[in-house]
Structures are given as structure tokens and as C-alpha cells.
Structure 1
Amino acid sequence: MAASSASAADFSIGFDWGNLKTCTSGNPSTVPSPGFRLRGVPAGTVAIQFTMTDLAVPNYPHGGGKVAYRGGSAIAAGAFTYRSPCPPNGRHTYRWKATAFDAAGKKLDEAEARKPYP
């Protein structure tokens, strides 16, 4: 683990669904990513991979995206596209996982945030 002023256990993310159009048909659309709040990003991070999983249907490929990281405490909404949440039978809980990588592609740490939808 790379040394940093924040320990690896401090890496965390947060998000809000933002202006995501309500979808309950079971047919997700490709949409812009939400904005992410970051805390304790490991020193040496140059990229963060975001992946969304529906915890009720973990095999569905919602996707995510990899973004360059140049410091700061946020990733802007729309940084990549993914398949929206769209549960056909009630509320599901979704998990965004963020994986920090260094310039050599080595995984430095992971963080996650969960939120129900709709």
C-alpha cells in the first residue's frame, strides 16, 4: 500500500442519483453517471474505476467507467455512462464500487456506497 496522509481504511465514496429519470420497467437505459464524493483517495491514485451492481440481481451488467484522477474530492456527474437502475418489481439496493489504481495499474484500494432505488 502506498503511504499517504489518509489510511487505506479512510477511502470512501458517496453519491446521489441526481436527475436520474425514474425507471421501473426492468429495461435500463444508458445514462450519464452520477457525481461522486471522494474521501481519503490513496496517494498515487491516477485512475478510479467505478462499477455499479444491483444487489438483488448481481449478474446484470450495469457497467461503469474508468476516469482519470488528478486530485480533489469529487468526480463530476456525467464522467462516464452506464446502464441505469431500473428494477421491475419494487425497490432494489445498488452498490457503486470505486477502485483506485496507480500509474502502473496496481490496485491501491476500494471503496463502496449503497443506495436504494427508486
Structure 2
Amino acid sequence: MNLKSFLIFGTILATPVSCLAEEFSISFEWGDIKKCNTGNPNRVSNPIFTLNNVPEGTKFLKFKMKDKNVPGFNHGGGKIEYFGENVIEPGAFIYKSPCPPGGTHTYEWTVTAQSKKSGGKLAVAKAKKKYP
């Protein structure tokens, strides 16, 4: 083995496995939710979520939305059974829609991959977006 091969091979061996695997991530689109800017949210179906690199062993996904401008307001979320899909369509759960009073707020969804319904946290992914 020459020096260049040794350095490349040594670098691969020294790289932690966690760096080689892609991290759990999400993205979302608001979809066709009823427009709201009164500060009184509607109860609506979940946004369209796209999931990437869901951890092996995931049996449930827990969703939670936070208004970054008013973090104390509970918009809720939901928990669903996970069967390996990469897209979660509207209708999986109901939550309180974004509804900033007279302006734009930033909302963040947190999704926790769980190995069992009551916990067993495997990974957490977050995504945020402005509304409207």
C-alpha cells in the first residue's frame, strides 16, 4: 500500500459511522389550509410532510408545531404509526393552523421518530417556514 492509499484508507477508518449516515430531516408545505390572520386558529389537517433518512426501527412519528413568534401558544400536533413512507399526506392528524394576527410569523415543526408509541426517541428533525 502506498502512502496516498494508506492516508485515504486511514481517513475512512477514522471517520465516525454517524458522519457517514445521512441525518433525519423533514420539509413541509402548508397545502390547502384555510387562510387565517385573526389570531384564532382553525382546526385543520396536517401539512404535507416529506421525510428523509427516517431512522431504522421507527414505529411512530410525533409531530409538534410551535409559533416561533409566540412560543407559548400550543398549536398541537399528532402522533401517527409509521410504515416506511416518505410523504405524510394531509389527514394523518388534526392541529391548530397557523394564524398570526395581522402579520407574518415563523412556524417550526418538530418530528420525533420513536421506536414505540409511548417514547423510545430515535431522532428529531425540525423545519420552519413563514406564514402567510
TM-score normalised by structure 1 residue count: 0.90
Report the counterpart of residue 90 of structure 2 in structure 1: 77
Question: Which AA in structure 2 matches 1:111?
Answer: A
Runs of 4+ with >4 A deviation? none
Q: Distance in 1 between matches of 2:41 and 2:119?
A: 31
Which is richer in helix?
Answer: 2
Runs of 5+ consecutive residues of structure 2 not aligned to the other structure: 1-16
Instruction: Give the count of matched residue pairs.
Output: 114
Partner of 1:13 in structure 2?
Answer: 26
Verify: 1:113 aligned to 2:127, yes or no: yes
Matches within 5 A, 1:1-118: 7=21, 10-103=23-116, 105-118=119-132
What's the offset of the Cα at 1:74?
Answer: 1.1
Amino acid at match of 1:17: W
Asked which structure has the greater CA Rg, the reply is 2
Partners of 1:77 and 1:21 in 2: how far apart?
13
Equivalent AA in structure 1 for residue 106 of structure 2: T
- The 8 Å contact of residues 35 and 78 in structure 1, kept in 2 or not, is answered as no
**Superposition CA RMSD, Å:** 1.8
TM-score after normalising by structure 2 = 0.81
Whose relative contact order is higher, 1 or 2, with alpha carbons under 8 Å and at least 6 apart? 1
> Is 1:15–1:113's contact at 8 Å kept on the other side of the alignment?
yes
* Counterpart residue type for residue 120 of structure 2: K
Structure 1: gaps spanning 5 or more residues: none
